[in-house]
A and B are shown apart, each in its own frame.
Chain A
């Protein structure tokens, strides 16, 4: 693969990658080592430290789904979370992030998990239940009591404050 290609395009990002684990990440890729940083390291980055979905984000972008990021994955993550990233791309990744059990649908458990992370579990179970069922009722267009990607896209595309 061409790590040198990405490296030439975004050396600064590689600098960040290198900073995370200086003893693991080499500075030149002549013999193409396969380096993956574990989830715990990535999550400790200041950009993600406060994010309630940090573990999910890293898991989504890792190739193996376990949260171990290679430099390529790292670049992908930053490009998708960048402010200038196009809306469609963000929608796709947002869906993936909220899909906790990776079944390509947002079911009620996913919604509950999302809500509990957003509010740090400060709502009572009844309130959580109410909110989740209301959200499901609003966004579920085909009545299968889970949100498919098209439901999600339809809902999010009308949101006023979904980041540009």
Chain B
């Protein structure tokens, strides 16, 4: 030891004499340590440091923080990993970050303590160093150098010249760079820690000597706040993802059944969101105010069950049919009063009712169109898919999975995604006889058209017949004749899709496109269904209105008779109080329409659930348990388990939503009903899919943005608002029920509000603005703007496509080029080797050939590197 000390002293003396030499040696060491020395980066760094000396301290601080994390994250591993078991990946990220944060703080204080130790007890440090020197043979040299440097540092190089300072600074920069890149090096942790500690001490010393490291506290505070902010942001993101309902359920289904089935559930969830908002609108602005502030039940005829129905108004059968008390409640249009303002808030009930009706439709349009536009954007973005398979292979496993069930799901989802990708690949490779496929496709479309025309005619025929029967009176006909329309409809809805399915097998489309065709065809079929329903409803409305006319006449007679009966006795007596239940009332066609829709929705829901239970669950149970005692294999053979019918379910959902849009104006409870229905069917269908369905034979990848569904939804929205708007605009409201009673048209409520609630000038402005002379040019302008925007977007799309094509060809060219270069390099190498093998013969030229060989090799590798850089540059 004594000897060593002497040696060190000697060395120290030398050092003091020659600081420059030490600097260079240390730099060499730095180079050794660095894995991939990026010269340019280093230069850039130097520049930066020269530019801002004040920044230097900050940089250093940052690096320190980073490195503390390196050490401290290690601590976290154990507890973090145990947590991983139970938690989702995202949660772990957030939590772990929090931990690191704490540790970082601790680390900082610890570090500070260590630093102090360094300064005070130098002997301790020395002992440690010695121990290190003794134990580690491989690190000896660097260790010693470190020791020497420390000595010099402690003696404070105050007498340094400017050049030396410069060199020192460079060295410090090297160290700092080493510190910052240390984490990414595949060294053993021990080596990393040692290097880190040494470099830290070094930097610490010389930063002090160079007078850097000011305003550290402030900077540390800043960094801390930044980290905290980032953590908050991440937590917020996590919170947002945690708020998305049913995410895990859908993910699970996707992993087993592929993205096409999952796309249905995602669509269902989206629909649920929209219905929630519609429900909020109608519930908050129409139903609750009327229930709380409007006149109570029993105060007016429209709010009372008529005497004739009173006996069985509470029967379940009646309530189930939405008659009795249900009919005379806030659930339906008829209950609402035409009083202009209700309650102490002076809530404008009729206006609110009208605006909510309009707002429901407007909001739906807005949401559907906005979603479509966003989806189209996503489609247009088109990410780089050049490494599809390799990415799937190397990056699909989630290393955080520790739960066997999750692992099973992940295996299933990876297999499914591979199958999807393989299918896409096979489809793109397939090239059959084009003429034959074309012929078959035309034939298939012809057959489908025939089917559609036939079913259309059948519906028309049946509806006409039923109208005839209705005129003759329903009682004289059999059960079949009375229910003919409904039966024909459901039979068509049941068998035509199957027929279409058979026909579509002819076409040989990619399953995704086949699904779209199937959807489109069934959609056309269902439209017939919808419109017969509407026509029937219109007939009924007309009937009711005739009835109403008759009643109006009777009403006056009834009133006259009432007065006549009592007038004779006492003419000055207060007006006779007749119980509201006894007053005769009109049929109120609006409530009737609302009831029809509600009944339809309920029966539709029931049918869906029952078919689900029978068709899927019962079938699965039978197949599963009868299989033990059956002649053939039920699971593999004929009945088998059912597949999930994406097209049918999507269409069911869409048509259901169309009903809601149509009926929501006359029955404010419809959105609430629909929310309930969607909620239940989410759970029920998720369960049914996981428990009794089998994945489709050809699992295919649904396009992530189901714009096709959206387009159909838009069509349905348009088609369902059409009749609703028609009835609102053209048919006068009933005289004795609903918020618009006593007006000649429903939209008169706007006029009324404008006249009585707004100042006169406003009404004037409004009347000017609604002048056709102003409205028409405005419309024209809008059409022009749309045309202009569309043409520009088209041209952008064109340009985008062109650019993409260009990029692709360039990529391919580069690939070719690199391949050529590699080939050439190999040939060159071979030649060189040949030359090398011939060398022994020409002993004299040995040296020369060797030189040429290495030279050649260098150029070859240089070429390769440059081409790689080129490719890389282009890809960026």
Contacts and interface: CB of A to CB of B under 8 A. Distances in A.
Contacts of B80: 82
A10 B189 CA distance: 11
A158 B387 contact: yes
B451 interface: no
B74 A79 contact: yes
Contacts, number: 188
Report, as a range, how many residues of chain B touch the other chain. Answer: 35 or more
A138 B419 CA distance: 18
Interface stretch (B178-186, B647-655, B672-680, B734-742): B178-186
B136 interface: yes
Contact of B135 (A1, A15, A82, A158): A1
A10 B71 CA distance: 8
Nearest to B814: A141
A82 B73 contact: yes
Nearest to A81: B399
B47 interface: no
B141 interface: no
A163 B85 contact: no
B186 A72 contact: no
Contacts of A103: none
Contact of A114 (B93, B188, B394): B394
A161 B77 contact: no
B118 to A, nearest CB: 16
A107 interface: no
Contacts of B96: 83-84
Contacts of B100: 84
Contact of B395 (A1, A47, A115, A161): A161
A82 B77 contact: yes
Contacts of A5: 190, 193-194
Contacts of B407: 50
A9 B71 contact: yes
Interface stretch (B218-226, B410-418, B588-596, B775-783): B410-418
Nearest to B186: A92
A117 B384 CA distance: 27
Nearest to A95: B394
A1 B415 contact: no
Of B75, B82, B188, B868, chain A has the most CB atoms within 10 Å of the CB of B188
A26 interface: no
A123 B875 CA distance: 33
A143 B823 contact: yes
B871 interface: yes
A112 B871 CA distance: 28
Contacts of A16: 77-78, 81
Nearest to B137: A1
A131 B393 contact: yes
Contacts of B399: 51, 81, 163
Contacts of A76: 188-189
Interface of B (DSSP majority class): helix
B77 A131 contact: no
A127 B425 CA distance: 11
- Of B80, B183, B384, B393, the most chain A CB neighbours within 10 A belong to B393
B93 A155 contact: no
Interface string A95-128: 0001000000000000100110011101100010
B74 A122 contact: no
A2 B135 contact: yes
B386 interface: yes
Interface string B383-417: 11011111111111101111110110001001100
A13 B393 contact: no
A111 B392 CA distance: 12
Contacts of B815: 141
Contact of B75 (A13, A94, A142): A13
Given A141-B818, A150-B868, A159-B395, A89 B184 contact: yes
A135 interface: yes
Given A2-B136, A50-B404, A130 B78 contact: no
Interface string B42-81: 0000000000000000000000000001010111111111
B797 interface: no
Interface of A: 1-2, 5-6, 9-13, 15-16, 46-47, 49-53, 72-73, 75-76, 78-89, 92-94, 98, 111, 114-115, 118-120, 122-123, 127, 130-131, 134-135, 138-139, 141-144, 150, 152, 154-156, 158-163
Given A118-B396, A155-B391, 5 more contacts: A16-B81, A83-B400, A88-B184, A89-B186, A161-B391
6 contacts: A50-B402, A135-B392, A138-B386, A141-B871, A161-B395, A161-B396
Interface of B: 69, 71, 73-82, 84-85, 92-93, 96, 100, 132, 135-136, 183-186, 188-190, 193-194, 383-384, 386-397, 399-404, 406-407, 411, 414-415, 418-419, 421-422, 425, 815, 818-819, 822-823, 864, 868, 871-872, 875
